[in-house]
Amino acid sequence: MSKRQLSPDFDSKEFLAQYWQKKPVLLPKLIPNFHDSLAPEELAGLACEELVESRLITEFEAGKWQVRHGPFEDSDFTQLPESNWTLLVQAVDQWVEDVADIKTLFNFLPSWRIDDIMISFAAQGGSVGPHYDYYDVFLLQGQGERSWKVGERCDSDVALIPGEELSLLQDFKATMEFNLTAGDALYIPPRFAHWGTATSDSLCYSIGFRAPSMAEMIEGFSDFIIKDQDPAQRYEDSDKQTELRGAEIKPELLEDSYRQLTERLAEKHQFTSWFGCHVSQPKYPELIQPLDKALSSHDFAALLADGIQLTKNPSSRFAFMESAAEGCVLLFVDGAMVSFSMKQLSNIVAFCEAVDIVPGTSSDLLTDPEIVELLRQLLNQGSLLASV
Ligand code: SIN
Ligand code: CO
């Protein structure tokens, strides 16, 4: 199969400046000559697997949708009507290498922002109803055709149809309409209303991006710094207790505590560590399993000498940050951080960009003892996988 490429007409700089996180846009033939990674029957097969998240959404009467959650049985599919239903399978990139490869085309955006690739198969007339999502998404059309209506950006208090498991919009007004065929992509920023309907049996690849909510950040960062707090450090009364009225909490009494608390939350260095760990958290940690027997340095060197090939676990996430102020480079893998001196910057960049690490071809990585030790640890913890 020929390697997919983005259209030479797609200008990523212009896209980032004009549209990313700002407004929806149709990207016609973003991937020219697009070929599907799997057939609808294979998608249905995945939806029958225990570990795969999937949903079947049927519009059983005009404007009324029913949702069922997988895993499904073959018979669930044979009983479906000819039209008006959609099968959605989450994180197909975890299971199908050709789908994971699609993510590499979006390398004009940070890889740690990508959440997953969900694939939907919609029978003619199938739709999941008018809604908005909290994340950026590229809706990449596979086989067949789908028509998309796009509306305005929604506020959190927008009216939803009551009693629907799907959060569907009560008053959807389309301001744009597009018909997508294979290789076209529609970019939708967070909270823009959208509604796709299959005009023929069709596949759609949703390349979704993650963005932690403020609530998640406050909770996650607080949890992260809690472990460094001295339990003996407590609220203390200041000496400004004059003219106290019984049950009164005097603003002056809060001041020191407030200052101490905000100083801790304003720890940029700590926040940096937490942020990198947080955004590199895997979506499915259960798919990253340590080796039954950890490899010693000696065992690992022997495997490398045998020409073992290292591949990144498709469930693992890698990110790095060059910290000029600290004079170091921070590598984040699956929610953990390792710090290297700046002289390792090019190796860390190369490691994050590498798809495979193959003895003989990734020579710089495999000749540096510090990086070899990193690779050994990542193989032991399951973030790297080995094959011969
Ligand atoms: C679909 O694939 O039909 C639904 C995707 C979406 O609207 O987010
Ligand atoms: Co959506």
Split at pLDDT 50, 70, 90, the class of 2 is low
Instruction: Describe the chain by its helix, strand, coil percentages, rounded to 5.
Output: 30, 25, 45
Q: Answer yes or no: is pLDDT of 38 > 80.
A: yes
- CATH T-level assignment (fold) for domain 285-387: Malonyl-Coenzyme A Acyl Carrier Protein; domain 2 (3.40.366)
pLDDT of residue 104: 94
Which residue's CA is minimally distant from atom 1 of ligand 1? 120
pLDDT band at 241, cuts 50/70/90? low
Average pLDDT of the chain is 94
Buried b (16+ CB within 10 A) or exposed e, 247-263: eeeeeebeeeeeeeeee
Domain boundaries defined on the chain:
12-209, 285-387
pTM for the structure as a whole: 0.93
| 320-350 pLDDT, tens digit each | 999 988 899 999 999 999 999 999 999 999 9
Q: In testing the pocket of ligand 1, which one of 206, 207, 209 has its CB within 8 Å of the most ligand atoms? A: 206
Q: Are 87 and 121 in contact (CB under 8 A)?
A: yes
Cβ 86 under 6 angstroms from ligand 1: yes
Choose the most confident range, by mean pLDDT, from 64-73, 352-361, 363-372.
64-73
User: Among the residues of the chain, which ranges form H helices?
Assistant: 12-18, 40-46, 74-78, 97-104, 214-226, 251-265, 268-279, 297-305, 345-353, 363-367, 369-381
Q: What ligand 1 atom has the least distance to the C-alpha of 137? A: 8
How far away, in angstroms, is 218 Cα from ligand 1 center? 30
pLDDT in tens, 79-118: 999 999 999 999 999 999 999 999 999 999 999 999 999 9
Cα 283 → chain centroid: 7
Atom of ligand 1 nearest to the CA of 188: 8
Please give the share of the chain, as a percent, with pLDDT higher than 70: 98
Instruction: Looking at the CA of residue 208, tell me the nearest atom of ligand 1.
Output: 8
Q: In which element (H, E) is residue 193 found?
A: strand 192-198
276 CB less than 6 Å from ligand 1? no
Please count the residues of the chain. Answer: 388
Question: Is it the case that residue 249 has pLDDT exceeding 90?
Answer: no
Q: Is the pLDDT of residue 1 over 60?
A: no
- Please choose from 67, 87, 88 the residue to mutate so as to test ligand 1's pocket, defined by most ligand atoms within 8 A of CB: 88
For every residue of 138-169, DSSP letters joined together read EEEE-SS-EEEEEEEEPPTT--B-TT-SS--B
Q: Which atom of ligand 1 is nearest to the CA of 204?
A: 2
Q: Does the structure show a pLDDT above 80 at 314?
A: yes
Sequence-distant (≥ 6) Cβ neighbours of residue 220 within 8 angstroms: 212, 274, 278
**Centroid of ligand 2 to alpha carbon of 206 (angstroms):** 8
Average confidence (pLDDT) over 203-207: 98
At 177 the pLDDT is 98
What pLDDT is attached to residue 157? 93
Q: Which atom of ligand 1 is nearest to the CA of 198?
A: 3
Ligand 1: does its nearest atom lie under 6 Å from the Cβ of 194?
A: yes
Question: CA-to-CA distance for 309 and 20, rounded, in angstroms?
Answer: 37
Quickly count helices (H) and strands (E) in the chain.
11, 17
Q: Do domains 12-209 and 285-387 have the same CATH topology?
A: no
- As a whole number, mean pLDDT of residues 52-61 equals 95
User: What pLDDT is recorded for position 208?
Assistant: 98
The one-letter code for the residue type at 282 is: P
Cβ(104)–Cβ(355) below 8 Å: yes
- For residue 148, give the nearest of 188, 120, 189 by alpha carbon: 188
Task: State the CATH class of domain 12-209.
Answer: mainly beta
Q: What pLDDT was estimated at residue 361?
A: 73
Residue 65: both structure tokens together? 């949708």
Ligand 2 is an ion; residues with CB less than 5 A from it:
133
Find the helix or strand (DSSP H, E) in which 178 lies.
Answer: strand 176-180
Buried b (16+ CB within 10 A) or exposed e, 169-207: beebeeeeebebbbbbbbbbbeebbbbbbbbebbbbbbb
pLDDT band at 250 (very low <50, low <70, confident <90, very high): confident
